[in-house]
Structure 1
Amino acid sequence: MPGTLTITPLTAADRCDRCGAAAKVRAVLASGGELLFCQHHANAYNDKLRELQATIEAEPVPAL
């Protein structure tokens, strides 16, 4: 199906594009690119990513 986006789950090998920590969030840009962020940097860039209309996918938070 054209235009369908298939996202693969993040793995231990996925690293934050900003600092190299374990990636917890994937931001898919409208242009088709993607960025991976640790939670800290995802929080820091959240407003800008939303402004760019990025699709933001976060790792599920485990239940306590």
Structure 2
Amino acid sequence: MTSALADRTLTAVDRCDRCGAQAYVLVVLEASGGELMFCGHHARAVETTLRPLASEWHDETDRLSEKAALPED
């Protein structure tokens, strides 16, 4: 992972290119340098096809299992 991607955290503004849900995976294509973003579901669906074409595969799907912090009263 390049330092630019290592320092980047996907936010709620980043959306899946397939369905529009929140993106948790950012893929940088090796040939063009173009970026694709996917939700966890669609990242798994395209991983076997895109992983060999990617120069970067930034996966934050582990955040899906984190418990949200509850506000204190």
Q: Normalising to structure 2: TM-score of the pair? A: 0.71
Q: Look up the match of 1:20.
A: 20
SS class of match (1:19): coil
Greater helix content: 2
Q: Which has the larger radius of gyration?
A: 2
The unaligned stretches of length 5 or more in structure 1 are: none
Deviation at 1:51, TM superposition (A): 2.5
Between Structure 1 and Structure 2, how many residues are aligned? 61
Q: CA RMSD in A?
A: 1.9
Is 1:59 paired with 2:60?
A: yes
Counterparts of 1:46 and 1:59, CA distance in 2:
14
The answer to whether the Cα contact below 8 Å between 2:24 and 2:59 also exists between their aligned partners in 1 is yes
Please say if 1:10 is aligned against 2:38. Answer: no
Structure 2, unmatched stretches of 5+, are 68-73
Aligned residues with identical type, % of pairs: 51
Which residue in 2 is equivalent to 1:48? 49
Helix, strand or coil for the counterpart of 1:61?
helix
**Offset of residue 60 of structure 1:** 5.5
SS in 2 for 1:26: strand
Greater shift in the superposed pair: 53-62 or 37-46: 53-62
Dislocated runs of 4+, deviation >3 Å: none
